[in-house]
C-alpha cells in the first residue's frame, strides 16, 4: 500500500439520520498520544441520538481506537455501546506477537489488523484512484474478517459542509459473511482531493439505513 499523509489532529462532525428523519450526531476525532511509551494515534468515535429519537431508541456509543502511527493498524480498543436495550463494554489490545487479548479470550492473529473505524482512516491515506482495490484484515468484538474494497468513479455529493467530488468504496468480506451486525452493508464517500475526507457514510442497521453527512471539519 502507498500511504499519503493526513492530519494528525482532526475533528469531523456528522449529522446522523435515516431516510425520512434526523437521528442525532456522530463525531470522530483523531489526536496523537503516547501508549506504553510509544507514539500512537487515538481515534475516538461518539454517536448519540437526539432528544426526540432517544425517547424511543436511545443510542450512546463511544469507541476509542489506539492505532499504530505508521499504518494505523490496531494497538488497543475500548468500546462502550448502548443502543436501546443492547449494552456492550469491550476492551482488547494487540500484543507484540500478534495476539488479540481481551478480558474474555485471546486470539492468535495471522497478521496486523484494523478496527473498522481505523480502517476508514487508513483508506484515507491511499491514492483512491478509480479501479484501485485494497485488501486488509479487520477485527470487531473478537471476530476476524478479511476485507476487500474497490474504488469507484467520481460522484458528486452534497452534505452540510459543502459539495464535493467523491470516490465511493464498499467494503465486502472474502467469504460473503456480512462485515457488520444485522447483515449490515457499509458505503463510504471520500472527497476526491488530498484530504480524502469521509464526507458521507451509509450503514444498514436493524432499524433502517443510517446516513452520516459531514457538517463540520476542523483540522
| 106-165 per-position pLDDT tens digit | 999 999 999 999 999 999 999 999 999 999 999 999 999 999 998 999 999 999 999 999
Residues in the chain: 219
Rg (CA), the chain: 17
The answer, yes or no, to whether residue 179 has pLDDT greater than 90, is no
Strands 208-218 and 133-140: unpaired
d(CA 100, CA 74): 10
Higher pLDDT, 209 or 175: 209
CA dihedral 18, 21, 24, 27 (to 10 degrees): 50
Q: Say how many C-beta atoms besides its own lie within 10 A of residue 59's C-beta.
A: 22
Residue 92 pLDDT grade (very low, low, confident, very high; cuts 50, 70, 90): very high
Give the dihedral sign, CA 143/82/185/41.
Answer: negative
Three cell numbers written together for 162: 459543502
Residue, of 208 and 76, whose pLDDT is higher: 76
Whether 67 has a pLDDT exceeding 60, the answer reads yes
What structural domains and CATH numbers belong to the chain? 10-218 (2.50.20)
User: Taking 50 as the threshold, does the pLDDT of residue 1 lie above it?
Assistant: no
At 2, give phi and psi (nearest 5°).
-100, 125
Place of cell 446516513: 211
Amino acid at each position: 500500500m502507498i500511504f499519503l499523509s493526513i492530519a494528525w489532529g482532526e475533528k469531523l462532525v456528522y449529522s446522523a439520520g435515516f431516510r425520512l428523519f434526523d437521528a442525532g450526531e456522530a463525531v470522530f476525532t483523531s489526536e496523537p498520544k503516547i501508549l506504553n511509551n510509544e507514539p500512537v494515534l487515538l481515534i475516538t468515535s461518539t454517536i448519540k441520538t437526539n432528544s426526540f429519537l432517544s425517547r424511543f431508541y436511545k443510542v450512546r456509543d463511544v469507541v476509542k481506537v489506539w492505532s499504530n502511527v505508521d499504518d494505523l493498524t490496531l494497538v488497543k480498543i475500548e468500546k462502550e455501546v448502548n443502543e436501546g436495550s443492547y449494552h456492550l463494554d469491550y476492551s482488547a489490545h494487540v500484543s507484540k506477537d500478534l495476539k488479540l487479548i481481551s478480558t474474555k479470550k485471546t486470539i492468535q492473529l495471522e497478521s496486523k489488523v484494523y478496527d473498522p473505524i481505523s480502517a476508514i482512516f487508513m483508506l484515507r491515506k491511499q491514492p483512491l484512484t478509480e479501479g484501485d482495490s485494497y485488501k486488509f484484515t479487520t477485527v470487531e468484538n473478537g471476530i476476524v474478517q478479511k476485507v476487500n474494497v474497490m474504488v469507484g468513479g467520481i460522484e458528486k455529493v452534497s452534505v452540510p459542509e459543502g459539495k464535493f467530488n467523491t470516490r465511493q468504496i464498499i467494503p465486502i468480506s472474502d467469504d460473503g459473511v456480512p462485515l457488520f451486525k444485522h447483515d449490515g452493508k457499509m458505503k463510504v464517500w471520500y472527497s476526491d482531493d488530498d484530504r480524502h475526507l469521509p464526507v458521507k457514510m451509509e450503514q444498514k442497521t436493524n432499524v433502517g439505513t443510517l446516513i452520516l453527512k459531514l457538517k463540520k471539519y476542523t483540522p
